[in-house]
Amino acid sequence: NNKKGGVKIGGGDEFDLPTAQVEALTASVEKHVRNSRDGSINWKIVSSEVGLSEDVCAKAFLHFSDEEVKKAMRGKPVYTTNDLVEGIINSVDADVVKAAVNAALGAGADVANAKAAGIVGGVVERANRLMKEETDTCNSLVAEIGRLKGEIMVARVKRIRDVEDLLEAEREELEEERKTQYFRRAKFWLGE
């Protein structure tokens, strides 16, 4: 029962927790939920009982066993896998997981629903982080587009000014030519 493969936690340090340690974690959490006035989990106590850091305990707690998944789905087909959940959990700040689980337990949820709340909290935190990254990327792209359009406008204005200068030079040359022609005609008609 102490075989590896109970839960694998990533995100910085890798932990492959034995099934017995995962079961001890779940039992400790359930005990503290029953004994707590507000239904929250004291992660320091749980971590000292299980022998893992608070962050690892919080993330490992979110992993559902196959039996828990079947029970939660109430016979409905399951389209997600623990690998998907594991990827989300491992990329989430453990403080977010702790807060979501404690809030769910404080609102009267059972342990399985608290796990689900922790996962949802993690998904929301990850979505917010990704949204911020995408927003920052979009903002920098918009700024770069604005900069490039500004450069294009400056180049166009310079070209227009160059054309205006050429036209002005041509106009002055034509004016000089017109004056020369006028004086030649005047000399011709005056007989000079």
Show Cβ contacts of residue 72 under 8 Å, excluding neighbours closer than 6 positions: 64, 112, 116
What is the rounded CA–CA span in Å between residue 102 and residue 99? Answer: 5
**Is pLDDT at 172 greater than 70 in this prediction?**
yes
The larger pLDDT score, comparing residue 47 to residue 135, is at 135
**Is pLDDT at 152 greater than 80 in this prediction?**
yes
β-strand partners of 17: 7
The larger pLDDT score, comparing residue 65 to residue 51, is at 51
What is the rounded CA–CA span in Å between residue 44 and residue 51? Answer: 10
pLDDT computed for residue 165 by the predictor? 95
Report how far apart, in Å, the C-alpha atoms of 20 and of each of 25, 113, 183 are.
Answer: 9, 22, 113
pLDDT computed for residue 2 by the predictor? 39
pLDDT computed for residue 60 by the predictor? 78
How is residue 165 written in tokens? 């200068």
Confidence of residue 8 (pLDDT cuts 50, 70, 90): low
Of the spans 6-15, 61-70, 91-100, which averages the highest pLDDT?
91-100
How is residue 22 written in tokens? 């995962």
Lowest mean pLDDT among 2-11, 84-93, 173-182: 2-11
pLDDT tens-digit map of 56-68: 887 777 765 655 5
Task: Indicate the burial class of 50 (C-beta count within 10 angstroms; 0-12, 13-18, 19 or more).
Answer: buried
Which among 40, 158, 30, 51 is positioned nearest to 102, based on CA atoms?
40
**Is pLDDT at 51 greater than 60 in this prediction?**
yes
**Is pLDDT at 161 greater than 60 in this prediction?**
yes
pLDDT computed for residue 137 by the predictor? 94
Which among 117, 66, 126 is positioned nearest to 90, based on CA atoms?
126
How is residue 27 written in tokens? 């039992």
> What mean pLDDT comes out for the span 146-154?
95
